Amino acid sequence: MNLVNRVMEWSQRGSNREVSIAYVAAAVLFLAGSAFIRGFFGWGHVLAIVSTAGFVGIVGIGQTFTLITGGIDLSVAYMLNFGALLVTGISLGSSHHLAPALMVVAVVAAVAGLVNGVGITILKIPPLIMTLSMNSILEGVALLYSNGTPTGAAPPLLTALATGTGPLSLPWMVWFWAVVSAFVLILFRKTVFGRWTYASGSAPRASWLSGVPVERVVILVYIISALAAALAGLLLAGYSGQAYFGMGDTYQLESVAVAVIGGTSILGGRGSYLGTVAGALILTTLTSLLQVLNVGASMESMLYGVVIIVMMMLNRERQA
Amino acid sequence: MRRSTPKEAIPLRTFRWLRNEYLIYPILVALLVAYLILNGGFLSVFQIQSLITSTAPLILVGLGEAVVIISGGIDLSIGYMVSLTCVVVATSSPVLGTPLALAVGVVAGAVNGTLITRFRLSALVTTLATGSFFLGMALHILPTPGGVVPEWVSTVADGNMGPVPVAAILLAAVVAILGFILYRVPAGRYLFAVGDNLEGARQSGVVDAPIRIGAYAVAGLLAAVAGIFLAGQTSSGDPNIGTPFTLNAIVIAVLGGTSLAGGVGTVGGVVAAAFVLSVVSDIIFLTNASSYLQYIVSGGILVVVLGIGQGVRWIRRPTGQPSREKVADR
């Protein structure tokens, strides 16, 4: 009883409200789907939704925290794609070459994120312009690297991670996402760096005056965003067994959508990765519903647009 | 961004020219000379004609984006409006297709403007979202490239009247009308006022909502003209044709001297900037460099241009302090 009360109390507090509503919405959406569509309900389908949500959820890490710093990262699409191209191109389908491939991907992502961060903080280029330009640059570099035709294949280890089943008959992807989420939540809730991230987003000047290294914090957030996008690229390469051009295109908008659905403010300073996880579950459940209804990719694209605008309107009311 | 930075506070007089909105013209001349030299010292009439017709869609989307940025907003859906209208032209009846596409562009832009001004949503995320919606509509209408484009649309987009491309005449008309509205009509003055200082403009009696919604509608209309052009040039509809135009529109607008802070921009600068981008891509083609460099140039050009001035200032900053300006301003 005490626990229930504490949960209720927690869910009423400030931004936790939006997060709680998002989880309830995810559950309601799933149950609604189950009520109307035969075969939608089931533990297997829940696991499938959660593991699929992991991909956009991991891209959403970067989007959540760049939004919290008052920026946005529109370079995730080709960061993801380039990460996938690199890992298949270097490892050539062999798990023995996975380690060097991972190192190359990590270094490339870190450099891209660093350039984003430096451009935004030191060169004062608006985040929108900087990351949109970076997206185009990464697309060009990826095309030059693969000469337009991706080669190689995903190492079996990555495929196992993205599609295999682990302990407790849960997919490895669910385990992996849970571990990553826990790490992200600890990093941004329990460390000084996490505090600084929120501070830099809600009041940059005041934070700087009180000794927060705002520029370094923002640069680090963009590096984390690039690393997260590249990680999602590795997993997606493992999932489809290969890399291809355009595999990251939808993730640019989806990652913004999951963050906004989860209650992250596009004005900066407010938001939580817990909300983004709920946002990823909602969006994936919706996509899954649409796939069952067989409306096609064009309708999904339209729906993402509507969902983002509706969520912004709803969150707006709460801000006022 | 600090509100009232006196111009004298900037220690770099030598780099003042970087802020000069006329800088784009010497750059364009230099690039044209380089192009001329690479091409063996002459340009055929055909090359000049094709340079103009291939730059036409870039000029149109660049002008549309510039109008929105001058009004203090940003439009990330321009490329997808181009795709949508291109598809509409190719799938409608020959007579109705073009007016319908223009109407679709205006309505799409007005929707953007209404969401942003009436509901006070972030222009960046709203147009990102509506862009996804427009792309979805385009893919729904025509999933793969195809359709039929009326003969006369192709003639307008690609044909010549004597030595003059029809596109050039149409562009001249667009530039003249837009220039007239921006510089000779109260609505144009209000556009600059609203973008420069929204609250100030309101206080002086400017009704800002119609002006700002109008700016997005103009962007939609110009995107529609660009979409019709592209449909005419390729003689088909393609739901993905507009995707690169979103970034290119912003690059052209900003390169042409439009300030991202709003309230500053010129028609001539934008036209010149569109030719700069076009000539650069022709030079890449002439030097047999990989065509993939195009993406890196599109992405890098604005970062370099916006970054140079601030970068030099950062290196020469007085005592090693970080600058005090707000980080990540949008």
pLDDT tens-digit profile of B136-156?
999 999 888 888 888 888 888
Give me the pLDDT at residue B261, please: 84
pLDDT reading at B327 higher than 90? no
Name which of A154, A115, A151 is nearest A135 in CA terms.
A115
Q: Is residue A5 part of a domain?
A: no
- Closest partner residue to B139 (CB to CB) among A71, A135, A298 is A298
Nearest to B75, CA basis, from B269, B217, B203: B217
Q: Is A242 exposed, middle or buried (0-12, 13-18, 19+ CB in 10 A)?
A: middle
In a domain, B75, yes or no: yes
**Count of structural domains, chain B:** 1
In a domain, B120, yes or no: yes
* Contacts of residue B19, Cβ cutoff 8 Å, sequence gap at least 6: B309
Task: In whole angstroms, give the CA distance from residue A222 to residue B301.
Answer: 21
Residue B255 confidence (pLDDT): 87
Q: What's the gap in Å between the CA of B210 and the closest CA on chain A?
A: 21
* Lowest model confidence (mean pLDDT) among A11-25, A257-271, B7-21, B119-133: B7-21
Q: What is the pLDDT of residue B306?
A: 80
The structure tokens listed for B177 are 């009308």
pLDDT average, residue stretch B298-313: 80
A13 falls within a domain:
no
Q: Residue B115 sits in which domain range?
A: 7-42+55-315
A114 touches B: beta carbon within 8 Å = no
B134 domain-assigned: yes
Q: Determine, for residues B122 and A200 on separate chains, whether the beta-carbon distance falls below 8 Å.
A: no
Is A115 part of a structural domain of the chain?
A: yes
d(CA B55, CA B168): 10
Interface touch B330/A316, C-beta < 8 Å: no
Q: Could you give the C-alpha distances from A256 to B129, B209, B239, in angstroms and in order?
A: 9, 27, 23
Give chain A's end-to-end CA distance (angstroms, integer): 34
Q: Is A147 a domain residue?
A: yes
CATH number at residue B137: 1.10.3470
Of the candidates B107, B110, B115, B104, the residue with the CA atom closest to the CA atom of residue B216: B110
Which H/E stretch holds residue B155? Answer: helix B151-158
Biggest alpha carbon distance in chain A?
Answer: 62
**CATH number, position A48:** 1.10.3470
Residue B205 in domain: yes
Tell me if B181 is assigned to some domain.
yes
The 3-state DSSP class for residue B161 equals strand
Chain B residues touching A130 at Cβ < 8 A: 303
Residue with tokens 């938001």: A271
pLDDT at B14 over 50: no
Q: Is A301 on the interface with B (CB under 8 A)?
A: yes
In a domain, B129, yes or no: yes
User: Which distant-in-sequence residues (6+ apart) come within 8 Å of A79 by Cβ?
Assistant: A109, A112, A134, A135, A138, A226, A229, A230, A233, A248
Element (H, E) at B31: helix B24-38
User: Which one has a higher pLDDT value, A80 or A268?
Assistant: A80
Helix (H, G, I), strand (E, B) or coil at B237: strand
What is the tally of structural domains in chain A? 1
Is B164 in a helix, a strand, or coil?
strand
Q: Tell me if chain B has a CB within 8 Å of the CB of A164.
A: no
> Cβ contact (<8 Å) for B124 and A135?
no
Q: What is the DSSP annotation of A213-271?
A: -HHHHHHHHHHHHHHHHHHHHHHHHHHHSS--TTTTHHHHHHHHHHHHHTT--TTSS--
Helix (H/G/I), strand (E/B), else coil: B243: coil
What radius of gyration, in Å, describes the C-alpha atoms of chain B? 20
The answer to whether residue B50 is domain-embedded is: no
* SS3 at position B71: coil
The answer to whether position A71 is within a domain reads yes
Strand partners for B160: B165
The angle formed by the CA atoms of residues B186, B190 and B196, to the nearest 5 degrees, is: 150
Would residue A93 count as lying in a domain?
yes
Q: Are B175 and B271 in contact (CB under 8 A)?
A: yes
Contacts of A96 (CB under 8 A, 6+ apart): none
Q: Look at residue B4 and tell me whether its pLDDT is greater than 80.
A: no
User: Is residue A7 one of the residues assigned to a domain?
Assistant: no
The token pair that represents B325 in the structure block: 């300006």
pLDDT, tens only, B191-222:
999 988 888 888 888 888 899 999 999 999 99
At B160 the three-state DSSP class reads strand
Complex prediction ipTM: 0.83
Task: Write down the residue that tokens 């449909």 correspond to.
Answer: B231
Is residue A81 in a domain?
yes
**DSSP class per residue in B270-285:** HHHHHHHHHHHHHHHH
- Looking at the complex, report in whole angstroms how far the Cα of residue B88 sits from the nearest Cα belonging to chain A: 15
Q: How far apart are CA A30 and CA A282, in angstroms?
A: 8
What is the CB neighbour count within 10 angstroms for residue B145?
A: 15
The per-residue pLDDT for range A60-72, each reduced to its tens digit, is: 998 999 988 888 8
- The verdict on A310 touching B (C-beta cutoff 8 Å) is no
Count the neighbouring beta carbons within 10 Å of the beta carbon of residue A100.
11
Asked whether the beta carbons of residue B303 and residue A123 sit closer than 8 angstroms, the reply is: yes
Of A22-31, A171-180, B224-233, least confident by mean pLDDT is A22-31
Domain that holds residue A275: 19-319
Output the pLDDT for position A14: 60
